[in-house]
């Protein structure tokens, strides 16, 4: 059976990415121009949600884990691209975590 041990590295990358995306969204809400950060915040929330879902499906050995990880990689790419456009430290950290997660998801799928 596939599950946690099979996908351990990808699960860990997804969980780390989700946590950092949540941190980034929260930090973006503290910026002076929150409206300018709206797209970043939205993508952070989407990315965190799909990363958590991907980690859960992988950990239970779902037959759809590879499919969801392909989608996760695409959303991580979009979040990384948006975060890379901002100069804040939290956005830089988020972009890096999203890139690593996308790589892990593509390798798993």
| DSSP line for 47-102 | HHHHHHHHHHHHHTT-TTHHHHHHHHHHHHHHHHHHHHTS-SHHHHHHHHHHHHHH
Q: Topology of domain 4-108, per CATH?
A: Substrate Binding Domain Of Dnak; Chain:A; Domain 2 (1.20.1270)
What are the structural domain ranges in the chain? 4-108
pTM of the predicted protein model: 0.95
Return the closest-CA partner of residue 39 out of 67, 54, 6, 31: 31
Q: What is the DSSP letter of 31?
A: S
Residue pLDDT, tens place only, 1-42 = 678 888 999 999 999 999 999 999 999 999 999 999 999 999
Q: Is 61 left (phi over 0), alpha (psi -120 to 50) or beta?
A: left
**Averaged over 72-77, what is the pLDDT?**
98
């Amino acid at each position: 059976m596939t599950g946690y041990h099979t996908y351990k590295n990808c699960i860990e990358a997804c969980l780390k990415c989700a946590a950092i995306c949540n941190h980034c969204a929260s930090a973006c809400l503290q910026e002076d121009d929150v409206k300018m950060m709206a797209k970043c915040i939205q993508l952070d929330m989407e990315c965190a949600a799909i990363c958590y879902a991907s980690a859960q499906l992988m950990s239970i050995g779902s037959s759809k884990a590879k499919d969801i990880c392909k989608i996760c990689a695409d959303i991580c790419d979009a979040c990384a691209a948006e975060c890379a456009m901002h100069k804040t430290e939290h956005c830089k950290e988020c972009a890096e975590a999203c890139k690593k997660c996308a790589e892990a998801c593509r390798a798993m799928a």
